Structure 1
Amino acid sequence: MKCGSLPHYFSIEDIFATQERLPCKFVVPVHRLGFLDPSSESEDIAVGTTVELPYWLAKSLCCQRRNIVTVEMPKIYKEPYREILKADACVVDLHKFGLFFYEFGTYLSQLEHRDSVAIGSVLVQTFKERFRQVMDWAHNSGTDPLIIQRLDSLEKALFQEGYQTRAQLDAWLNKGASQITTAEMVINYKKRKLAVLDDL
């Protein structure tokens, strides 16, 4: 697996997303880190031990320079769940899949794993299918909490942006509905022009 595309240091969303845990299987023995496995009383981690580690640590341990663990994808990104999203992404309560579903999935798609390409594809397809629905909700349903609860963090941000943009547009249209009047400068110009013509 490759090391690269690090999360943005100052992004709260990136920090939360990279804290998500992955099942990792150790392929080499690791000394004095047995405390990482709460079910073990050994001081060391033996080959074959599976431990859930945060993404930022798992990625460091499974890159080409340090092939210490192999990573298993979380169940919400495995084939059965991908098939659900492919069937009809718009009916899925994406918040139940994960608060940072798109962000975490993007990081997983960068790993050299057999499912990485499929995860990347399903993320793009899911976003495309749900984007129009999210914008439709933002423009027509107000701030219904039941709708917002079905969205992950990225979709919530898009929903809020769409809702505010629609509110600003409505305010502008209502303000512009008043009668259009001639500017004072234009009236004065016409008066001056008439005065010049009268002098001729």
Structure 2
Amino acid sequence: MDAQSYHPVSPGVGTEENFLSLDDILLSHQRHPVRTECAFPRLGFLDRSSDSEDLPEGTKMELPLWLSKGLYERKRRVLSVELPKVYKEGWRTVFTADPNVVNLHKMGPYYYGLGSQMLHFDSPENPDIAQTLLQTFIGRFRRVMDSSQNAYNEDTSTLVERLDCLEKALFRSGQSGLNGFQSWEKGRASQLTASSLVINYRKRKMADVQA
């Protein structure tokens, strides 16, 4: 495939993935703990610690996100999902106090994406999780963009090592805008172009209008 013909697709936001996005494909393979609430005939191979042909009720194991979403049913509880620790109350308290102190890459690296996907599963904690995701993003957004705008022609590896996937995309977008402006200011570019985030937003709005 011609490398020039590939254009990165942004990950989905919310409880549904965008399967044209490489980030979402990787996200869907993130493993998390579950517990079976009924027996699953001939699915014993899912439990690596058992040689049984069937998966008995009460089995605790880890499944990739895409599989647990496929097995999960709201009307008939066949699978219960345990929250990853970063979304539990203890960590939510840390994020509320100061979201900038947390190394999201170490905790994730898909903190926002996986947290949004966790809302697919019914839980009384879902409103608190959603609120923490939003407030964490708001609390870290300014620092991410300030860093991207103040690192011209510098090694940015240390600046992005604590960011999750979504924040790294924002950082790259900010860097791209800064580099474009610097080139235009020095007469190396004939015109300024819109940010890729703005272009993608316009495309989504046009698609919504046409639908």
RMSD: 1.9
Structure 2 residue 101 is the aligned partner of structure 1 residue 91:
yes
Q: Which residue of the other structure, out of 157, 163, 170, is the alignment partner of 1:151?
A: 163
**Contact 2:99–2:139 under 8 Å retained in 1:** yes
**Contact 2:33–2:84 under 8 Å retained in 1:** yes
Structure 2 residue 146 is the aligned partner of structure 1 residue 136:
yes
Deviation at residue 110 of structure 1 after TM alignment: 3.0
Compare CA radii of gyration and give the structure with the larger one.
Answer: 1
Question: What letter corresponds to residue 168 of structure 1 in structure 2?
Answer: G
Give per-residue Cα distances to partners, 1:62-103, cap 9 Å, x unaligned: 222553211111111111111111111112111011121111
Question: What letter corresponds to residue 175 of structure 1 in structure 2?
Answer: G
Q: How does 1:12-51 map to 2 (within 5 A)?
A: 12-51=22-61
Deviation at residue 5 of structure 1 after TM alignment: 4.9
Report the Cα distance in structure 2 between the residues aligned to 1:65 and 1:10, rounded to whole angstroms: 30
Report the Cα distance in structure 2 between the residues aligned to 1:87 and 1:70, rounded to whole angstroms: 30
Gaps of 5+ in 1: 177-200
Q: Which residue of the other structure, out of 159, 165, 171, is the alignment partner of 2:183?
A: 171
Deviation at residue 168 of structure 1 after TM alignment: 1.4
Report the Cα distance in structure 2 between the residues aligned to 1:120 and 1:5, rounded to whole angstroms: 11
Q: Which residue of the other structure, out of 53, 72, 90, is the alignment partner of 1:80?
A: 90
Compare the two structures and name the one with the higher helix fraction. Answer: 1
Sequence identity (%): 39
Structure 2 residue 70 is the aligned partner of structure 1 residue 60:
yes
Runs of 4+ in 1 over 6 A off after TM superposition: none
**Contact 1:31–1:43 under 8 Å retained in 2:** yes
Q: TM-score, normalised by structure 2?
A: 0.76
Gaps of 5+ in 2: 1-13, 189-211
Counting matched residue pairs gives: 173
Q: TM-score, normalised by structure 1?
A: 0.80
C-alpha spacing 1:7/1:39, structure 2 compared with 1 (3 Å): same
Deviation at residue 111 of structure 1 after TM alignment: 2.2
Secondary structure of the residue that 1:53 maps to in structure 2?
Answer: strand
**What is aligned with 1:161?**
173
Q: How does 1:109-128 map to 2 (within 5 A)?
A: 109-128=119-138
C-alpha spacing 1:95/1:66, structure 2 compared with 1 (3 Å): same
